[in-house]
């Protein structure tokens, strides 16, 4: 019953890891290469459970301490070394602002809850670019595996005892868990693709599929039958399914692709698991292929940080970049395997020393996550970033050293919470009450949220009452939905907007309505908007926004509600992050950015409505934040201008609040209130 080493399964690891590497390196023909992770999951479930089934059959019990000792020594040392080394390198090449959120990413990686950590970030309006650029993003899949390794042996031990009374307990329970996981995968996929992809419960089915395959083969061997029937056609079919799904030929969602790739992985792993090497398995047993599979853990660990860090320095054609990433990640993995992983794994420990080894490994991971990485990531930037210092500037542009600020905190801390209230209970959104002046009502997205502290101050200083509704990624005109947001977030947006447009606007006494949102008619947002909760992308964002804006403003005008629409803010180019630049620059002049001042379709709609409707006004705050346009400084009066590439820093808005209020009142919107 003893399980012996199968070199072909290491060959399958090679296929899995390089599919992922090529996908992450950006090769267009490997658009589905992320299914390499699916193959890893099936392999992991198969191999771990095969070993555990054999131990139960031979000894009648599981040595959990021995199992966890092997897992800890196999996985933790290489992960800890990677996190420390990558953090140190990050200090040299990344700004403090870019590194700030990564301390939390590293902590999640080393404590193996990275999948939930990155799921939370990717569901946040600001999270997508942060997630994509994190040096530790790839730990999401390792976290799911570790969670499986922690839970499964205990479950198997319980099921083994139940099996003594009912022999079918193990396959029935594991099969039920697999079906439940598949159901959750399919339920979450249309609701929240991020949850479907990163969730533990939505990906366990792939590990459980490997577990059930191993159980089936284990019981076949116990009955005197050898291997998987039809191993050659199964191997060929499995390899073809995996390779086809890894390409860009099929238009499948990640969810359906993952389900199909699990079937392919089961066929491939089952076909390669026999003791005899058949003709279809020979390519997987070629010695260099087997060796690359043995070092695949290190290759996976190192390839993503290499991609992120190399991308900061070079921009070659995709195929050249992919070759470089493959070469570097393989070389580093080989060194890690030889000098670190093998010596630690191969060392034999007495049974009495296994538990201390497990605890020591966990302690090392915990100490690194909590005490080592955070101060490293917060270290002073030693190398000045290349900025935009060659931009022409006028005599009034700012120069001098950047302000001394905690840039890492500034890029990860929000000044105000989301404000979402139902019409029947607006009290949580009434921020200032009891003043003698008018009632100002604010409706908007994350840009309104960033402005909340300024409006609070103004309300107290100018003696007006303030109510605010704000939700990230939620445009204020009805009938506009952001496809980047998962369905639950779109539903929240619809509840907030419908509450305002169906009830509040009719019943709430509003003396000034301030509407704030990001310009989603820009090219950057092509393909991201729809006109229904679960609709398809519209062909023309500008047309959708203009039509919905015109209808909303026409209704406000008919109701006689004095309304001010904020002109779209000038923002840096998408590939520029002035805050990150400032955190590493020697002079603020390095971080100036050019601004295109062309009115978008949405801004043109604001202008037309303001000129043709009595109660609609438009305010342009851009000259306050960029007085030297078309070249904008990254610092004004010692304060950074942008919090990130899409938001004016709240502290600057507070500093400029008198100018902001003067600009609003200059529209004449409050003339009747005086």
Using CB atoms within 10 Å of the CB of residue 597, give its burial: 0 to 12 exposed, 13 to 18 middle, 19+ buried: exposed
* pLDDT of 125: 36
- The alpha carbon dihedral of 317, 320, 326, 329 has a sign of negative
Query: Are 71 and 294 within 8 A, CB to CB?
Result: no
Residue 122: its pLDDT value, please? 66
pLDDT band at 597 (very low <50, low <70, confident <90, very high): low
pLDDT band for 653, please (50, 70, 90 cuts).
very high
Q: What is the mean pLDDT of the chain?
A: 88
Instruction: Give the mean model confidence (pLDDT) for residues 310-314.
Output: 83
pLDDT at residue 127 tops 70: no
pLDDT for 447 beyond 80: yes
Strand 616-619 versus strand 512-516 pairing type = unpaired
Least confident span in 190-194, 209-213, 277-281, 286-290: 190-194
Is there a contact between 602 and 550 (Cβ–Cβ < 8 Å)? Answer: no
Rounded distance, CA 556 to CA 613, Å? Answer: 10
Instruction: State how far the Cα of 307 lies from the Cα of 466, in Å rounded to an integer.
Output: 47
User: Picking from 72-76, 114-118, 192-196, 214-218, which range would have the lowest pLDDT averaged per residue?
Assistant: 192-196
Look at residue 645 in the predicted model and tell me its pLDDT: 80
Q: pLDDT at residue 128 above 50?
A: no
82 within 8 A of 341, measured Cβ to Cβ: no
Whether pLDDT at 673 is above 80: no
Cα–Cα dist 381/379, whole Å: 6
Query: Alpha-carbon distance 584 to 452, whole Å?
Result: 29
Give the Cα separation of 633 and 647 in Å (integer): 15
The yes-or-no verdict on residue 192 having pLDDT over 90 is no
Label residue 161 by pLDDT band (50, 70, 90).
confident
Q: What single-letter DSSP state applies at residue 341?
A: I
Q: Is the pLDDT of residue 66 over 70?
A: yes
Per-residue pLDDT, 470: 93
- Assign 412 a pLDDT band (cuts: 50, 70, 90): low
Record: fold of 407-673: Rossmann fold (3.40.50)
CA-based nearest residue to 109, from 71, 133, 82, 74: 82
- Greatest mean pLDDT among 14-18, 48-52, 405-409: 14-18
Q: Rounded distance, CA 277 to CA 281, Å?
A: 6
Between the alpha carbon of residue 460 and those of residues 74, 149, 444, 464, 672, the distances in Å are 60, 56, 21, 7, 21
Hey, is 526 helix, strand or coil? coil
Whether the CB-CB separation of 512 and 442 falls below 8 Å is answered with no
What are the two backbone dihedrals, phi and then psi, of residue 648, each rounded to the nearest 5 degrees? Answer: -70, 135
Flag whether the pTM goes above 0.95. Answer: no
- 457 pLDDT band (50/70/90 cuts)? very high
* Residue 36 scores a pLDDT above 90: yes
Tens digits of per-residue pLDDT, 389-405? 446 677 788 888 888 88
Q: Return the higher-pLDDT residue of 337 and 601.
A: 337
Counting DSSP H helices and E strands in the chain, the numbers are: 30, 14
Please, which pLDDT band fits residue 386 given cuts at 50, 70 and 90? very low
SS (H, E, C) 497-521: HHHHHHHHHHHCCCCEEEEECCCCC
- Contact yes or no for 47/40 (Cβ under 8 A): no
- Confidence band for 387, pLDDT divided at 50, 70 and 90: very low
Residue 72 has pLDDT above 70, yes or no: yes
pLDDT (average), residues 259-268? 96
Distances in Å between the alpha carbon of 521 and those of 141, 380, 627, 629? 36, 39, 24, 22
Among the listed ranges 119-123, 352-356, 414-418, 502-506, which one has the minimum average pLDDT value? 119-123
Tell me the C-alpha distance between 394 and 392, whole Å.
7
Q: What is the mean pLDDT of residues 611-632?
A: 94
- The percent of residues above 70 in pLDDT, for the chain, comes to 94
* Average pLDDT over every residue of 309-318: 85
Share of the chain above pLDDT 90, in %: 59
| Cα–Cα dist 158/525, whole Å | 52
Domain boundaries, the chain: 7-377, 407-673
Residues 6+ apart with CB under 8 A from 342: none
Does 300 have pLDDT greater than 70? yes
Task: Look at residues 217, 207, 189 and name the one whose alpha carbon lies nearest to residue 262.
Answer: 207
Q: What is the DSSP string of 427-471?
A: GGGEEE-S-SS-EEEEEESHHHHHHHHHHHHHHHHHT-EEEEEE-
**Residue with the larger pLDDT of the pair 414 and 241:** 241
Region of poorest pLDDT, from 258-262, 626-630, 669-673: 669-673
- Measured from the Cβ of residue 287, the count of other Cβ atoms closer than 10 Å reads 9
């Amino acid at each position: 019953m003893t399980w012996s080493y199968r070199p072909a399964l290491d060959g399958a690891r090679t296929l899995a890891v390089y599919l992922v590497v090529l996908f992450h390196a950006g090769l267009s023909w490997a658009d589905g290469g992320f299914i390499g992770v699916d193959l890893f999951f099936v392999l992991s479930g198969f191999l771990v459970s095969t070993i555990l089934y054999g131990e139960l059959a031979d000894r009648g019990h599981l040595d959990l301490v021995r199992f966890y000792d092997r897992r800890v020594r196999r996985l933790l040392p290489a992960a800890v070394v990677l996190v420390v080394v990558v953090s140190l390198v990050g200090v040299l090449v990344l700004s403090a602002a870019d590194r700030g959120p990564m301390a939390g990413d590293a902590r999640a990686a080393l404590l193996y809850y990275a999948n939930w950590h990155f799921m939370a970030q990717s569901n946040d309006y600001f999270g997508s670019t942060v997630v994509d650029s994190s040096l530790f993003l790839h730990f999401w899949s390792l976290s799911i595996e570790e969670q499986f390794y922690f839970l499964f042996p205990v479950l198997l031990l319980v099921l083994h005892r139940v099996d003594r009374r009912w022999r079918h307990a193990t396959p029935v329970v594991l099969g039920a868990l697999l079906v439940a996981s598949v159901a959750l995968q399919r339920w979450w996929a249309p609701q929240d693709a991020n949850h479907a992809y990163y969730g533990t419960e939505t990906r366990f089915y792939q590990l459980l599929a490997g577990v059930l395959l191993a159980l089936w083969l284990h019981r076949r061997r116990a009955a005197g039958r050898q291997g998987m029937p039809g191993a050659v056609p199964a191997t060929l079919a499995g390899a073809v399914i995996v390779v086809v799904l890894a390409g860009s030929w099929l238009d499948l969602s990640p969810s359906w692709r993952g389900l199909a790739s699990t079937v392919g992985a089961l066929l491939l792993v089952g076909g390669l698991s026999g003791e005899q090497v058949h003709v279809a398995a020979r390519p997987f047993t070629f010695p260099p292929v087997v060796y690359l599979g043995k070092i695949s853990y290190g290759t996976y660990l190192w390839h993503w940080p290499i991609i992120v860090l190399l991308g900061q320095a070079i921009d070659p054609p995709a195929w050249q970049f992919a070759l470089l990433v493959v070469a570097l990640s393989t070389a580093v993995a080989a060194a890690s395997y030889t000098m670190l992983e093998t010596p630690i794994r191969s060392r034999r420990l007495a049974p009495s020393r296994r538990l201390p080894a497990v605890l020591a490994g966990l302690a090392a991971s915990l100490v690194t996550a909590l005490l080592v990485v955070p101060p490293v990531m917060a270290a002073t930037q030693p190398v000045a970033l290349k900025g935009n210092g060659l931009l022409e500037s006028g005599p009034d542009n700012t120069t001098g050293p950047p302000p001394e600020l905690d840039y890492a905190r500034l890029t990860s801390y929000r000044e105000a919470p989301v404000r979402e209230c139902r019409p029947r209970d607006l009290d949580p959104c009434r921020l200032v009450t009891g003043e003698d002046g008018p009632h100002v009502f604010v409706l908007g997205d994350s840009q309104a949220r960033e402005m909340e502290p300024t409006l609070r101050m103004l309300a107290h200083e100018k003696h007006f009452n303030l109510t605010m509704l704000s939700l990230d990624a939620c445009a204020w005109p009805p009938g506009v939905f952001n496809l980047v947001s998962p369905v639950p977030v779109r539903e929240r947006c619809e509840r907030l907007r419908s509450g305002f447009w169906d009830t509040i606007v009719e019943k709430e006494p509003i003396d000034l309505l301030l509407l704030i949102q990001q310009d989603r008619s820009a090219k950057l947002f092509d393909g991201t908007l729809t006109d229904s909760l679960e609709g398809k992308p519209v062909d023309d964002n500008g047309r959708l926004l203009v039509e919905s804006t015109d209808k909303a403003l026409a209704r406000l005008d008919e109701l006689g509600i004095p309304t001010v629409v904020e002109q779209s803010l000038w923002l840096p180019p998408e590939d520029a992050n002035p805050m990150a630049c400032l955190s590493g620059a020697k002079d603020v002049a390095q971080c100036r950015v050019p601004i295109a001042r062309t009115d978008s379709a949405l801004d043109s709609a604001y202008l037309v409505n303001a000129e043709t409707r009595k109660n609609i006004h438009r305010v342009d705050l851009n000259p306050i934040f960029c007085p030297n346009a078309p070249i904008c400084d990254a610092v004004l009066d010692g304060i950074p201008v942008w919090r990130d590439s899409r938001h004016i820093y709240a502290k600057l808005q507070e500093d400029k609040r008198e100018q902001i209020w003067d600009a609003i009142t200059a529209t004449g919107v409050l003339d009747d209130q005086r």
